[in-house]
Structure 1
Amino acid sequence: MAISTANAEHGGSGSRPSNTGATHENFSRVISMHRRQKALEKKVKELEHDNESLHSDLEAAQGSVELMRGMVEKARREYLLQVQETIKMEILMGQTVGPLDLKVAELQAENSSLLERSQMVEELEAENSSLRQQNSQRVEMLKAAKEATAAAEKKLEEAVGKLSEAASSLATLTTQRDAAEASRRSLEAEKEDLMNVGADSLIDGFELALEQVRCVLPELDLAQFSIHHSVVDGKLKPPTP
C-alpha cells in the first residue's frame, strides 16, 4: 500500500495536460480569417456597386448611340428626299444648271454635316466599346473576389472545425486531469489513515511490551524507556531536538 501511495503522489499530480496554447493559436487564426473574409465581402460589395454604375453608364451610352444613329439616318433620308424633289422641280421648271450647282453645294455642305454627325456616332461607339471592356474587367474582378471569399469561408469553416475539435479534446483532458487529481487526493487520505493506524499500533505494541517487562521485573525503572529512543553502541539515545 505504501508503494502504491508513493506512485500516486509522484504520478497523480505530474500528468496535467494542457492544450491552451494550441487553442489560443487556433482562435487567433480564426479571428484573422474572419477579418479577411469581412474585408473581401466589403471589396465584393464595392465591385458590385461599381459594376452597377458602369452598367448604367453603358446603357445610357448605348441609348445615346442609338438615338444619334436614328437621327443621322433620318436626316440622310430627309435630305435625299429633298434632293430628289429639288431636281425634279428644277427639271420641270426648266431652270439653268447654275442654281442646280448652288443647290448641290448646299446639299454637299449638309452631307458634310451628316458625316460629322456620323463621326460623332463612331466616337460614341468607341466610347461604348471602352465601357464594355471596363465592365468586363470589373466582372472578372468581381468573380475573382467572390472566389477568394468562398475560399476564405471554406478555410474559416475548417479552422472553426479544428477549434471545436481542440476544445473537445481540451474538455476531455480536463476531465481526465480532474479524475486523476481526485484519485490522488483519495490515495493521500488513505495513506494518512494508514500511517495513523500504524502509529497507533506501534504505540500500543510498545506499551504492551512495557507492561510485560513491568510484570516480569517489577523492580525495574521503566521511565528511562521511550518509543522515541534509539539504541546506539549498546546505549539508549534520546531523539535529537
Structure 2
Amino acid sequence: MHLAKQIVLSLDFSTQHRKQLILEKRIKELEHDKESLQSDFEAAQGSVDLMRGMVEKARGEYLAQVQETIKTEILMGQAVNSLDCEVVQLRSKVIHLEAETSSLRQLNSQLVRELKSTRETAATGEKKLEEVVSKLSEAKGQLEEAASSIAALTTEKNAAEASKQKLEAENADLMSVGAEALADGFELALE
C-alpha cells in the first residue's frame, strides 16, 4: 500500500511537473505574443501619427485655399461695387445731360420762333435778329457739346459695363477654380 501511495504520488508529481512545463511554455508564448502585439501596436501608433500629420497638413492647405478664395471674392466684390458706383454716376451724368439737351432743344425752339417773329418785323428787328442768331449759334454749340458729351459718356458707360461683365466672368472662373481646389483638398484629406 505504501508502494501504491508512492506510485500515485509519483504520478501526481509527474502530472504536476508536466502541467508546470506546459504552463511555463504557454507563459513564454503569451510573453512572445505580448511583445509581438506591442510591436504591432507601436507600428500602428506610428501609422496613426503619420496619418494625423498628413490630415493636419491637408487641413491647413485646405483652410489656406479657402482663405485665399474668400480674399479673392472680397476683392472681386469690391471691384464690381466700384464699377457699379461708376456706372451709377455715369447714368446720373447722362440723365443730367439729357435734361440739359432737352432744355437746350426747348431754347433752340424758342430761338427759332423768335427768329421767325423777328423776320416778320424786319424793320425793328435787324439788331434783334443778330442777337437771336448769336443765341442760336451758342445754343447750337452747346447742343453739339452736349451731344458729344452724351456720346463720350455713353462710350464710357459701355466700357464700364463691359469691364464689369469681364470682372464677373473672372469672378465666376475664380469661384470654379476655388471649388475645384476645395474638392481636391477634401478628397486628399479623405485619402
TM-score normalised according to structure 1 size: 0.56
* Counterpart position of 2:187: 158
CA contact (8 A) 2:87 2:160 kept: yes
Q: Which amino acid aligns with 2:94?
A: V
Q: Give CA-to-partner distance per residue, 1:178-218, whole Å, 9 cap, x none.
A: xxxxxxxxxxxxxxxxxxxxxxxxxxxxxxxxxxxxxxxxx
Structure 2 residue runs without a partner (length 5+): 1-21
- Encode CA deviations 1:64-108: one digit per residue, 9 max, x unaligned: 1121022112212221222123312431x2438955466335422
1:22 aligns with 2:51: yes
One-letter identity of the residue aligned with 2:114: E
Alignment of 1:58-207 (within 5 A): 58-91=87-120, 93-95=121-123, 99=127, 100=129, 103-162=132-191
Q: Secondary structure at the match of 2:123?
A: coil
Compared with structure 1, are the counterparts of its residues 78 and 13 closer, same or farther at alpha carbon in structure 2 (3 Å cutoff)? same
Q: CA deviation at 1:128?
A: 1.4
Percent of aligned pairs sharing the same letter: 11
Report if the CA contact (8 A) 2:83-2:160 is conserved.
Answer: yes
Whether the aligned pair in 1 keeps the contact of 2:76 and 2:167 (CA below 8 Å) is yes
Distance (whole Å) between structure 2 residues aligned to residue 33 and residue 71 of structure 1: 56
Q: Which amino acid aligns with 2:93?
A: S
| 8 Å contact kept, 1:54–1:135 | yes
- TM-score under structure 2 length normalisation: 0.69
Partners of 2:87 and 2:155 lie apart in 1 by 12
> Unmatched 5+ residue regions in structure 1?
163-241
Deviation of residue 60 (structure 1)? 1.4
Q: What secondary structure does 2:53 align onto?
A: helix
Q: Which moved more, 1:140-149 or 1:62-71?
A: 140-149
Q: 1:147 offset after TM fit, Å?
A: 2.1
Tell me, in whole angstroms, the C-alpha distance in 1 between the residues paired with 2:35 and 2:67: 51
**How many residue pairs were aligned?**
161
Q: Specify the alignment match of 2:6 in structure 1.
A: none
| 6-15 vs 137-146, greater mean Cα deviation | 6-15
**Alpha-carbon distance change, 27 to 137 in structure 1, aligned in 2, over 3 angstroms:** same
The answer (yes or no) to whether the contact 2:97–2:150 under 8 Å persists in 1 is yes
Give me the whole-angstrom Cα distance separating, in 2, the residues matched to 1:64 and 1:49.
Answer: 23
Supply the distance in 2 between the matched residues of 1:144 and 1:13 (Cα, whole angstroms).
53
Task: Encode CA deviations 1:24-70: one digit per residue, 9 max, x unaligned.
Answer: 12320221121111111121012112211211221111111121022
Q: Is the 8 A contact 2:111 2:136 kept in 1?
A: no
Q: Is the 8 A contact 1:29 1:159 kept in 2?
A: yes
> Counterparts of 2:56 and 2:80 in 1: how far apart (Å)?
36
